[in-house]
Structure formats: C-alpha cells, structure tokens
Amino acid sequence: MGSIIEESLELRGIQHYGAAEEIVAAARARSRLSADEAMALATKETRRFRKGD
C-alpha cells in the first residue's frame, strides 16, 4: 500500500520521503538555529498562520 501511495505522489510531482528528508536537512543546515529555536519559530509561525495574521 505504501509503495502505491508513493508512486501516486511521484506521478503528481510530489517529492518522495527521502527527497523531503534531504530538503529538510539542507534547510536545517542553512538556518543556523538550534533544535529548540527551530521548534519555537515553527510554533510561533503556526499560531500566527492559524490566527490569520
């Protein structure tokens, strides 16, 4: 089932899990944020987005 879903996502141009991990790793390396700082920023931005600000 997982491979069917992955193939469907790839056909629609959506990155597979491995590619997503690489993108996230590259973003982490460029951000220069600690894990705690990154989590705080993600939480802040998620709350801001949900409020519609």
Distances (CA, A) of 33 to 15, 28, 38, 46: 25, 7, 6, 17
User: In the prediction, which pLDDT does 43 show?
Assistant: 93
Q: Where are the domains of the chain?
A: 2-51
What backbone phi and psi angles, to 5 degrees, belong to 33?
Answer: -100, 145
d(CA 25, CA 19): 10
37 within 8 A of 47, measured Cβ to Cβ: no
pTM for the model stands at: 0.49
3 token code pair: 């491979």
Q: Could you read off the pLDDT tens digit of each residue along the chain, which spans 53 residues?
A: 777 777 777 788 776 677 778 888 888 889 999 989 989 999 999 999 998 75
